[in-house]
Amino acid sequence: MSASLSQAKSKTKPLNQTKSLSEQGKFKQSHHLVFGAGLIGCYLGGALIRAQQHVSLLGRPRFLEQLEKQYVLSDYKGRRFNVQPSPRLVTNSEFSQVEQIDVLWLTVKCTMLQDAITDLQTHSLGPKTLIICCQNGVGTHEIIKKAFPHNKVIRAMVPFNVVNDEPGCFHRGSQGRMVLEVTPELESFTKWLASQLNSDILPVNISYDMTALQWAKLQLNLSNAVNALADIPVKQMLETPVYRKFIARLMQELLLVTEKQKIKLPKIANLPNKWIPKVLKLPNVPFKVLAQKMLAIDPAVKLSMWWDLQNNKPTEVDYINGKVVSQAQKLDISAPANQWIVSLIHEAQSGKRLSANAFKDAVMQFEKEQDT
């Protein structure tokens, strides 16, 4: 599900450029390495280059090979930009030869974090390298902090979807602002970097409370598993009442968890978090009226978990719906809907994936049982 981030006063803030020219010059000399440059990483790398940063990309060969011919960023509003100059493209075997890395953008999936840590440890990152974690879920950055205790680690939240339907073109298919975490030690640099990146092609905000923001994003991400098994575009999924009602149930379980933890979720969609499940349960006509911006998404877009299942790759379900289940268990709260969808994704990963029709029937039966 896509999200358009509002600038909630206590959580995310608009950007002001307050640094002196000398400080700006110092920041501009930074070398950025996007580690694990896939869909999000290549989009981010292109935005960094457009912001006149020094950029290297280390990622999947099938994406990097495309960039040797063209490098284009586009979005759901029809904007299209050629990325120039070309970044340095780095293979795994060349990683140890990369010069000093000032900012490392970690864009691998949660399921690949341990492999990434092993690769990064062979490079012997300097203690001055800032690591920016762009993973889904809540608290996954703590794994990186533990592995690299001498480095500064902050979080970035990427709420939109990127697809690669044209060679060398990375297309943002939904709305939403990337958010960078601000910490006292890195406040000047992070604010400056966010202001440089902030543009039509990559809107950016900053946040002083990323944990609450990540829980808010997790609420929206709960629909990923539904999209994966429904096997239809997100827009079509949101236009289907049975799926909307089930997604609302998944979200209500998360809201019980955050309420028990006294986490105040910032508004990152066009509706307050508590209202979203209520709107999802509405009949089609009022839903389409109230959720126009929620439906402002390319008609063909599917979510990352669908792509993982299609390509027989591990999904992040344990870090998304599974996070709700594990936290609910700690708090002695029931989360049957999230637990059920996690089990279905696990079965799909083991080769026992339900057909789209069978999944829809199963959701209807689950809803009927829960309502009785």
- Compute the distance between CA of residue 173 and CA of residue 364 in angstroms, rounded to an integer: 29
Cβ contacts of 3 within 8 Å, gap of 6 or more: 159, 160, 175, 176, 217, 220, 268, 269
For 63-98, the pLDDT digits (tens) are 899 999 999 999 989 999 999 999 999 988 888 888
How sure is the predictor about 293, in pLDDT bands with cuts at 50, 70 and 90?
confident
Q: Which two tokens stand for residue 122?
A: 């062979």
How sure is the predictor about 13, in pLDDT bands with cuts at 50, 70 and 90?
low
1, 237 contact by CB (below 8 A): no
Which of 4-8, 94-98, 186-190, 354-358 has the largest mean confidence?
Answer: 354-358
The structural domains of the chain, with segments of one domain joined by +, span: 12-208, 214-371
Do the two domains 12-208 and 214-371 of this chain adopt the same fold? no
- 3-state percent breakdown (helix, strand, coil) of the chain, nearest 5: 45, 15, 35
DSSP structural state of residue 174: B
At residue 175, the pLDDT reads 82
For 213-267, the pLDDT digits (tens) are 999 999 999 999 999 999 999 999 999 999 999 999 999 999 999 999 999 998 8
What is the CATH number assigned to the segment(s) 12-208? 3.40.50.720
What is the CATH number assigned to the segment(s) 214-371? 1.10.1040.10
pLDDT tops 50 at residue 210: yes
For 101-145, the pLDDT digits (tens) are 999 999 999 999 999 999 998 876 888 899 999 999 998 999 999
